[in-house]
């Protein structure tokens, strides 16, 4: 059982520790099918991992605990996805023991950037290293899929096409290094609520026009040209996210007026991702957007970034 949060006793070092870094994702493209009888939607998505990342430290402890810094909006105890992942790995591999997990959070919570999934992926990688398990990344991906649809991609990283619930991945080759500005909102959006809003808009008959076929995005990524990639950005959830959080329209407009090539709501939002021509342009767009009053904070990020991985020199703590 995971303990509720985190007294110093629970997190006192009891041996070596492992540090792991796990990336946030942006959906460059997200097509959402109609709701299925089981309540899920079929997705076709193109993910990109970016160098905005959470860092986890995993160490053996007398009892399991998870502590997140800053703690806002993230569950403590049994519901934290990092703890869920550690327990599931221990069950599946019949190994391990109680662990204390410290999460240094950079990925916005409930921001459409799959921060919880990143933490789950990091916990899988961290525990596998701590327990010296002989598991292939593919096995971790299979376990990750049971935790959440975005966990496999947080393990894989890079740029990938996702189908099914977004969890069936194939890598996408691209020469492009993409420079993003992320506009982070002062509130979160619940992923199920955004899907429900899309279903509602579609049922009314006034749903948004669906995104174009994914081939346009894949061809743009092959070309490696940021302007072509910007023109191919698309997200079926964007209209639903804007319907629930109308201020996002202003954020998108402000980013494009500041000089971004294009932008979109990332996943279920409310983070807005703005694609820029190069690093210099991203810096300028970020500075202007920060002064626009249309979001809480602004971050620059580049992709693709690798999936969850152990950091060097993390072997002792």
For the annotated binding site for ATP, the residues are 108-118
**Alpha carbon distance 88, 136 (integer Å):** 16
**Alpha carbon distance 1, 90 (integer Å):** 12
From the number of C-beta atoms within 10 Å of its C-beta (0-12, 13-18, 19+), residue 76 rates as middle
Site for ligand ATP in 131-150 (CB under 6 A): 150
Rounded least distance, CB 205 to ligand ATP, Å:
27
Verify whether residue 25 is a known catalytic residue.
yes
In the complex with ligand ATP, which residue's Cβ is closer, 43 or 74? 74
Q: 102, 119, 150, 236: which one is catalytic?
A: 150
In the complex with ligand ATP, which residue's Cβ is closer, 111 or 234? 111
Verify whether residue 150 is a known catalytic residue.
yes
Residues 6+ apart with CB under 8 A from 128: 89, 135, 140
Segment lying near ligand ATP (by CB under 6 A), choices 8-16, 75-83, 87-95, 220-228 = 75-83
DSSP-assigned letters across all residues of 214-237: THHHHHHHHHT-HHHHHHH-EETT
Site for ligand ATP in 92-111 (CB under 6 A): 103, 109-111
Instruction: Note whether 75 binds ligand ATP by CB under 6 A.
Output: yes
Instruction: Note whether 268 binds ligand ATP by CB under 6 A.
Output: yes
**Alpha carbon distance 183, 252 (integer Å):** 9
Rounded least distance, CB 291 to ligand ATP, Å:
26
Binding track over 200-229 against ligand ATP, x by CB under 6 A: ------------------------------
Instruction: Note whether 197 binds ligand ATP by CB under 6 A.
Output: no
Q: Which of 317, 310, 284, 315 is nearest to 22 (CA)?
A: 310
Residues 6+ apart with CB under 8 A from 140: 89, 121, 124, 125, 128, 155
Place of tokens 């290094």: 177
Element (DSSP H or E) covering residue 68: strand 65-69
In the complex with ligand ATP, which residue's Cβ is closer, 182 or 258? 182
Contact residues toward ligand ATP (CB under 6 A) are 73-75, 79-82, 103, 109-117, 119, 150, 191, 267-268
- The residues annotated as belonging to the active site are 25, 150
């Amino acid at each position: 059982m995971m303990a509720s949060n985190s007294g110093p006793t629970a997190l006192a070092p009891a041996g070596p520790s492992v540090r792991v870094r796990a990336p946030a994702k942006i959906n460059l493209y997200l097509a959402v099918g109609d709701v299925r009888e089981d309540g899920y939607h079929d997705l076709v998505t193109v993910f990109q991992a970016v160098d905005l990342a959470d860092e986890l430290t995993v160490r053996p402890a007398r009892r399991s605990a998870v502590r997140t810094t800053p703690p806002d909006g993230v569950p403590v105890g049994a519901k934290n996805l990092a703890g869920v992942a550690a327990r599931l790995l221990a069950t599946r591999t019949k190994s391990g023991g109680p662990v204390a997990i410290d999460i240094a959070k950079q990925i916005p919570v409930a921001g459409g950037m799959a921060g919880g999934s990143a933490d789950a992926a990091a916990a899988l990688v961290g525990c596998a290293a701590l327990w010296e398990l002989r598991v292939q990344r593919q096995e971790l991906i299979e376990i990750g899929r049971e935790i959440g649809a975005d966990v496999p991609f947080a393990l894989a990283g890079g740029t990938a096409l996702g189908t099914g619930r977004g969890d069936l991945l194939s890598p996408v080759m691209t020469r492009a290094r993409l420079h993003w500005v992320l506009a982070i909102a002062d509130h979160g959006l619940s992923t199920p609520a955004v899907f429900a809003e899309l279903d509602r808009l579609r049922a009314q008959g006034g749903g948004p026009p669906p995104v174009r076929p994914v081939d346009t995005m894949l061809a743009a990524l092959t070309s490696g040209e940021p302007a072509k990639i910007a023109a191919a950005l698309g997200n079926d959830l964007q209209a639903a996210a804007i319907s629930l959080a109308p201020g996002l329209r202003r954020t998108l407009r402000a980013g494009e007026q500041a000089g971004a090539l294009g932008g979109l709501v990332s996943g279920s939002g409310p983070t807005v991702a703005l694609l820029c021509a190069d690093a210099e342009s991203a810096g300028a767009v970020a500075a202007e957007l920060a002064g626009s009053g249309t979001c809480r904070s602004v971050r620059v990020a580049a992709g693709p970034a690798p999936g969850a991985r152990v950091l060097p020199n993390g072997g002792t703590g």
